[in-house]
Amino acid sequence: MAYAKLSGALLVQKGAPIAEAVSVPRVTPAPSTREGDGLLARHLKSLKLPTFLSQYQRVAQQYAAEGLDPSGYLLRLAEAELIERERQLIERRIKQARFPAVKNLDSFDFAAVPSLDKNLVLELARCEYIARQENVIAIGELGIGKTHIAIGLGMAACQKGLSVGFITAISLIRELLEARDEQRLLRLQRRLTGYKLLIIDELAYVPLTTAGAELLFDVVSQRYERGSTIITSNLPLDEWYEVFFGSKQLAGAFMDRLTHHVHILDMQGENYRLRQSKRPLQQREDNGTGRGKRIEPGVGSR
């Protein structure tokens, strides 16, 4: 019976269809344990599986000692790899957001701001409003915690896998004016529009120029029903026209787009930094009047 050699060790009977080809694999000696570990390490690096690489030996020893199913060993490594990748993605999103500080909602003192609807804030932390392209406006006096709440909501969005940008109103206007003068305004506007959540902090602390107000309006207008925007301000909404140097027409158009789908966070209370500064004084007064934990000399000092 005649055979034809196609390539390597692949042999085919003459006249037979290709489907009847017989592959004869070449047998190579199995690598030693050390060689195998080296090959596995190189493969894991090539596949970009650093968590597999760092944990597979420890997990393998654990599963071997306990006589567990090898498939569970692979499942555990795969889960560890996914968890580590998600952690790194969250860290990257937080870094790209450019928060001035890392703050979470669980560290916010809701009791100190009784006017703030805690249930609404926790509902917003689920980020469903972002999927609906709704906005949030936090209004309150200086130092009440508006920025803390805004960052906390931004952090929650990062953990949900959403792109977030944080910037103060003054910095945003400056960047927009510089981009316009340097003929790169469209590029900056595309970046601002691309965020799933854009946080504009401290609007209305300083009145805007006409050019600045118009550029800010363009940002809000371009994001309308495309992404969510959080704005913090120390001015009530009915006074926002002052930000635009009395231009009620521009302020009206701005507010129309911003408040069409909006959640208002009313934050009234004592200034956070003032409240913190009072605590040591209050503790000293409590100790002096017997209301605190004052230890008299010679008592309880044994």
Torsion, Cα 103 106 109 114, to 10 degrees, reads: 120
Put simply, whether the predicted model's pTM sits higher than 0.75 gets the answer no
Amino acid 291: pLDDT: 44
Tokens describing residue 126: 């689920």
Residue 7: in which H helix or E strand, if any?
A: strand 3-7
AA letter at 123: E
Amino acid 193: pLDDT: 97
Distance CA 165, CA 158 (A): 10
φ/ψ bin of 267: left (φ > 0), alpha (ψ from -120 to 50), beta (otherwise): beta
| CA-to-CA dists, residue 245 to 204, 239, 258, 285, angstroms | 11, 11, 19, 47
Burial degree of 56 (CB within 10 A; 0-12, 13-18, 19+): buried
Task: Output DSSP code: residue 293.
Answer: -
Distance CA 63, CA 39 (A): 21
3-state secondary structure of 166: strand
Amino acid 71: pLDDT: 58
Amino acid 290: pLDDT: 45
Amino acid 81: pLDDT: 76
Distance CA 145, CA 140 (A): 8
- pLDDT tens for the 302 residues of the chain, in order: 454 444 444 444 555 454 444 444 444 454 455 555 666 677 667 767 788 778 877 877 777 777 766 656 666 767 777 788 899 999 999 999 999 999 999 999 999 999 999 999 999 999 999 999 999 999 999 899 999 999 999 999 999 999 999 999 999 999 999 999 999 999 999 999 999 999 999 997 777 888 999 999 999 999 999 999 999 999 988 888 777 666 778 888 899 999 999 999 999 987 766 666 665 555 555 555 444 433 333 333 33
Tokens describing residue 68: 């567990």
Q: Which domains does the chain have, with CATH numbers?
A: 38-92 (no CATH), 98-274 (3.40.50.300)
